[in-house]
Amino acid sequence: MVKYLMLTIACLAASLSIATCQLAAPRAPLSTATPEQGGESMAFQLSSSAFAQGQPIPPQYTCRGKDVSPPLNWSDAPAGTQSFALICDDPDAPAGDWVHWLIYNLPAATHSLPEGVPTDGQLPDGSRQGLNGWGQTGYRGPCPPSGTHRYFFKLYALDTVLNLPPGATKQQLLKAMEGHILARTELMGTFRK
């Protein structure tokens, strides 16, 4: 009986040791994620004071209003973030994914974008803007031909500053971000004309 009890204790100790080793095993680096997958960060969040997740985007940020970019705020970016990139697109557009805004090389110390970001290709803080679906730099708001569309604001925390000039396309931005994404978060709003 004592021998059996000692064998049971030894097996339990070995099991705990294996479980501890598995818990302590290093995680794969997040930068291996593709831009569409993004990295993972439980706390990294994007929000807007203009609309909540899944709610309608106010007309002033659309072609029905002033057509200016909405205010955005984010928090808890992962350690090692060197810059941010933002893609706003509409996957419900008749011609497929329609780009409304590309902005990249946002400085790591940035935690928000104000309402009405200028549409210049190069901004004073070093940020650069890419081409939207209309072939222009800067933000152009929702303007669906019919029905309710979804607009995704996808924010990426990157471990580098991208070597991309102003006026890059979405495809060029996605390619440049490959292997550099620490985390991704998104905010989705809707609009019906």
The predicted pLDDT at position 24 comes to 36
Total-model pTM: 0.79
With respect to residue 169, please indicate whether it lies within any of the assigned structural domains. yes
Assess contact for 170 and 130: CB atoms under 8 A. Answer: yes
The predicted pLDDT at position 55 comes to 98
The Cα–Cα gap between 61 and 50 comes to: 9
With respect to residue 47, please indicate whether it lies within any of the assigned structural domains. yes
The predicted pLDDT at position 42 comes to 57
The predicted pLDDT at position 7 comes to 41
Burial of 180 (0-12, 13-18, 19+ CB in 10 A): buried
With respect to residue 6, please indicate whether it lies within any of the assigned structural domains. no
With respect to residue 24, please indicate whether it lies within any of the assigned structural domains. no
Q: Which domain holds residue 51?
A: 29-192
C-alpha 43 chain-centroid distance: 13
**How many domains are contained in the chain?**
1
Tokens of 6: 């000692």
With respect to residue 14, please indicate whether it lies within any of the assigned structural domains. no
Per-position DSSP letters for 5-64, written without gaps between them: HHHHHHHHHHHHHHHHHHHHSPPPPGGGS-TTT----SS-EEE-SS--TTSBPPGGGSTT
- Residues with Cβ within 8 Å of 14's Cβ and at least 6 positions away in sequence, in order, are none
With respect to residue 5, please indicate whether it lies within any of the assigned structural domains. no
With respect to residue 7, please indicate whether it lies within any of the assigned structural domains. no
The Cα–Cα gap between 47 and 45 comes to: 7
The Cα–Cα gap between 69 and 85 comes to: 15
The predicted pLDDT at position 96 comes to 87
CATH code at position 149: 3.90.280.10
The predicted pLDDT at position 38 comes to 53
The Cα–Cα gap between 183 and 108 comes to: 13
With respect to residue 142, please indicate whether it lies within any of the assigned structural domains. yes
Give mean pLDDT in consecutive 10-residue pieces for the chain, a chain of 193 residues: 43 40 35 49 87 98 97 97 98 94 98 98 97 97 95 98 98 98 98 92
